Amino acid sequence: MEYLPLFIDLKNRPVLVVGGGIVAARKIKILQRVGAMITIIAPTLCTELKKVLFKQNISWIEKKFQPIMLDKVILVIVTTNNAKLNALIYQNAEKRHILINTVDDKNKCSCIFPAIIDRDPILIGISSCGTAPILVRILREKFESLLPKSLGFLSKLAGIWRSRVRQHIVDVVLRRRFWEKIFYNGHIATLIEQGRPEEANKVFKYTLNNDVGNNNKKGNVTLVGAGPGDIGLLTIRGLQVMQQADVILYDYLVNSEILDLARKDANKICVGKRVGDHSMSQKELNQFIVRLAQKGNKVVRLKGGDSFVFGRGGEELEIISKAGISFQVVPGITAGIGVTAYAGIPLTHRKYAHSVVFMTGHNANGDNQVNWAALSDYQRTLIIYMGKINALNIRNNLIIHGRSINTPVAVISRGTYQNQKILIGTLIDLEKLTRIADYPSLLVIGDVVSLHSQMHWFGQKALNYCPTYLIAHSM
């Protein structure tokens, strides 16, 4: 191990920064956060440093560096591009056994700055000892996505209650179990993640006074929208709760690569529905979720797209709420937004569409449940989920109520995946396009579809332009 990782208390301790540019400003910003007494040696200062110059614990000496300036300093940071000056400072710092960091020159450093993940008071430093800074940046991004912002408050609350927990729970094993099962991975942590610190404090007090030694823990449920397919469209928050879950109940539409991001020991159960293939009824599923949570599990209900957009998330939460189970919702990118973006089709455009309607094709069978007259506005984009079966009824009703047969349409299957397929035609072609489209498919109806040829950016362009579309849009 080339370097010993240490956390140093610099509050009210003297630190010298040589250089007045933007690099110095970045280092000084970090030093300010820990309360160091900062002296800057530089002939001039950048604009950012001038803004903070007269703040507490920052002074500027507009002179050339002299070795005597290192006296009574415990750390010096060198940010200049003057090699001779940097060497002089390093030699004098070494003679005085003062820690020195020379930016971008490992050979003139006795200490280095790691990449910092700050969840105060939780701090994580990542370093490659100067060998691979880009890799360190990538690792930092990954850790940032894994650690919730509430982690710091959770740690502070634990610090406040630590001595009282030790008094209440003398047995070391029981005390460890309390922190692991009830506090850090239980209902209290969930409340803090939801931004309910006062309630978390109350639950903590009650649990400590009444439930110590009780092995039963309260479960909870989180509805997570997994997005339309591409693993990169899963939200950071969705990833975080998945990695805490004991049980994940997922739909057929969820990308298997997203499931691989869950805890390896999590129980993953498919509860999806397809036409003619329901693993369980919605009523059975609702009760199943409740039973799992009542047994103390952290349950994630993972749905394709967004839970509240044709995902029956509202129905499930009604039952969960009535059962008195704690819950939260992590929104996802619904297919109507994600799939169309990947197809290069904007949903609104000042020239082509002033509004957009999201609807399901299940009820598009000609009855009075659908206001076809309103949907036939030529400046309204229609996004139709699950529309393959009733495509013929959708086409006929829109035409009957005034929508032009030459209205551009797109049928997009496997949207946001590498094998995404886009079929484009006109409204009169809609039923034909859905017959040759793969499952699952999203129907897009409106003049904005014609922008695909200009705005396509992901995967292949539309594969099968129907003849009627080419004729109607070649004039």
Q: Which is nearest to 123 in space by CA: 143, 106, 103? A: 143
SS3 37: strand
Query: Other C-beta atoms within 10 Å of 118: how many?
Result: 14
Burial grade of 446 (CB within 10 A; 0-12, 13-18, 19 or more): buried
Exposed e or buried b per residue across 35-66, where buried means at least 16 C-beta atoms within 10 angstroms of its C-beta? ebbbbbbbeebeeebeebeeeeebebeeeebe
Q: List beta partners, residue 421.
A: 413
| CA separation for the pair 157, 301 (Å, rounded) | 29
Non-local (6+) Cβ contacts of 162 within 8 A are none
Q: Are 343 and 321 in contact (CB under 8 A)?
A: no
Q: Are 201 and 183 in contact (CB under 8 A)?
A: no
What does the DSSP assignment read for 371-439?
Answer: -HHHHT-TTEEEEEES-STTHHHHHHHHHHTT--TT-EEEEEESTTSTT-EEEEEEGGGHHHHHHHS-S
Non-local (6+) Cβ contacts of 171 within 8 A are none
Q: Which is nearest to 237 in space by CA: 186, 179, 286, 190? A: 190
Which residues are part of the catalytic machinery? 251, 273
The dihedral through the CA atoms of 83, 87, 93, 94 has a sign that is positive
Q: Which is nearest to 261 in space by CA: 295, 293, 233? A: 233
Q: Which is nearest to 444 in space by CA: 387, 389, 362? A: 387
* Pairing status of strand 122-126 against strand 298-303: unpaired
Q: Which is nearest to 57 in space by CA: 86, 35, 72? A: 35
**What separation in angstroms does the CA of 449 have from each of 51, 343, 386?**
50, 9, 19
| CA separation for the pair 120, 36 (Å, rounded) | 17
